[in-house]
Amino acid sequence: MKATAVAPSNIAFIKYWGKKVEKLRIPSNGSVSVNLSNLLTTTTVEFSPKLKKDIIFYNKKIVGEGRTHKRVIAHLNRIRNLAKINYKAKTITQTNFPDSVGLASSASGYAALTVAASNAAGLKLSEKDLTILARVASGSACRSIPDGFVEWLEGNSHESSYALSIFPPDYWKLTIVVVVVGREKKQVSSTQGHRVVKESPFFKSRLKNIKKKITDVKKFIKEKNFAKFGHLVEREALELHALTLTSNPPIIYWQPETVRLMNLIQIWKQEGLEIYFSIDAGPNLFLFSKENDTNDLLKKLRDNKFNDFILNKPASGARLIKNDLS
Ligand code: DP6
């Protein structure tokens, strides 16, 4: 009873921030994202009658009791209940990027865990059901299961809040450069951020406009209208941070280098380089450029001492692989 899955991280164009039903992670609004080819988590899960307790390895270290331990075991329990088994599990997880710094490690991590553990347990779930299951572990993880450009439908119940692919990965040849400006672990988790946002005086007005934003971003992707797409994505990222800054208590995710790069991007745009940024709940930036402009962008980053970056293109979602981790 063993299986291994690999899952990408994803960056949301329209963000998930705020929950209608906290326990089930039913979001306050729908969201739209793209999977990232080079931010990957691989997880092997084995259920075995020989194990006396669940053992969790993360990047070669045993995860001791605490928040992550509890969250992984809660997810294994969901899967054991569905499969009607009670064997303990050994999970081995390996990532190729830093965790807890706003690079959506929980999205790729829980997507990989969901696909590996459900297959190891013998469940044969549809893609839709996998997204529903992953969503309960970490909301954004549901968007790392389908391929390419993905929409998470808000829904109003456990069954109706799920994710689906809206365009395949090769539909639009964008480059997404993740610029890592801070590798320290963030102090406030996204889960906590989702709670306190309801205190922001701007939260209600955000929700009033969100449906139009979702319709627009899908239209701009469909038309491959990079200027309109980028403008909307940047405004949405800034709106997320307007919300975190005005939450109670407020959360400041940016570092000085985040702001330096945001300002440089505006200058580079005026110089004719068409790039746009997004930021999640952390200090790091996700830059979008057309394929032809990628080399110019990388040169500008290096010239300005931003040397820690990861190049991505739109990618497939979570999938099973044959090579188990040991
Ligand atoms: C800012 O999915 O990490 O990245 O459901 O509590 O695990 P939980 O939250 P999480 O929130 C991600 C928020 C975001 C925006 C987004 O990815 O849409």
Per-domain residue ranges of the chain: 2-170, 174-312
- Provide the whole-model pTM: 0.97
CA 68-194-80 angle, 5° bins: 40
Distance of alpha carbon 150 from alpha carbon 164, whole angstroms: 6
pLDDT at 184 > cutoff 80: no
Question: Mean per-residue pLDDT for 141-147?
Answer: 98
pLDDT at 203 > cutoff 80: yes
Q: How confident is the model at residue 189 (pLDDT cuts 50, 70, 90)?
A: confident
Q: Which two tokens stand for residue 222?
A: 């469909």
CB 103 within 8 A of CB 177: no
Distance 26 CA to ligand 1 centre (A): 12
Q: Look at the domain 174-312 and name its fold.
A: Alpha-Beta Plaits (3.30.70)
Using DSSP bridges, classify how beta strands 285-290 and 174-179 pair: parallel, antiparallel or unpaired.
antiparallel
* Ligand 1, pocket-test mutation among 194, 240, 278, most atoms within 8 A of CB: 194
The ligand 1 atom nearest the CA atom of 281:
1
Q: Which two tokens stand for residue 207?
A: 């929700």
Reference 138, options 112, 165, 111, 164; nearest CA is: 111
pLDDT value at residue 104? 66
Distance of alpha carbon 222 from alpha carbon 197, whole angstroms: 31
Percentage of residues of the chain with pLDDT beyond 70: 98
pLDDT value at residue 100? 60
pLDDT value at residue 37? 97
Q: Residue 34 phi/psi, 5° resolution?
A: -135, 145
**Which residue minimizes the CA distance to atom 6 of ligand 1?**
191
pLDDT value at residue 69? 95
pLDDT value at residue 208? 97
Check the CA dihedral 70-133-153-311 and report its sign. positive
Residues in CB range of 268: below 8 A, 6 or more apart: 275, 297, 300
Q: How far out from the chain centre does Cα 245 lie?
A: 21
The ligand 1 atom nearest the CA atom of 106:
3
- The predicted-structure confidence for 292-316, as pLDDT tens digits, reads as follows 999 999 999 999 999 999 999 999 9
Question: Would you state the CATH architecture of domain 2-170?
Answer: 2-Layer Sandwich (3.30)
What's the chain's average pLDDT? 96
Which amino acids bring their CB within 6 angstroms of ligand 1?
12, 15-17, 25, 31, 104, 106-107, 138-140, 190-191, 194, 280-281
Q: Which two tokens stand for residue 255?
A: 């570092």
- The predicted-structure confidence for 104-134, as pLDDT tens digits, reads as follows 689 999 999 999 999 999 999 999 999 999 9
pLDDT value at residue 205? 96
- The predicted-structure confidence for 206-247, as pLDDT tens digits, reads as follows 999 999 999 999 999 999 999 999 999 999 999 999 999 999
pLDDT at 97 > cutoff 90: no
**Which residue minimizes the CA distance to atom 4 of ligand 1?**
280
Lowest average pLDDT, out of 79-88, 90-99, 172-181, goes to 90-99
Question: Mean per-residue pLDDT for 147-157?
Answer: 98
Distance 210 CA to ligand 1 centre (A): 16
Residues in CB range of 317: below 8 A, 6 or more apart: 7, 8, 35, 111, 144, 145, 146, 147, 148, 150, 165
Q: How confident is the model at residue 271 (pLDDT cuts 50, 70, 90)?
A: very high
pLDDT at 57 > cutoff 70: yes
CB 1 within 8 A of CB 122: yes
Distance 271 CA to ligand 1 centre (A): 34
The ligand 1 atom nearest the CA atom of 135:
5
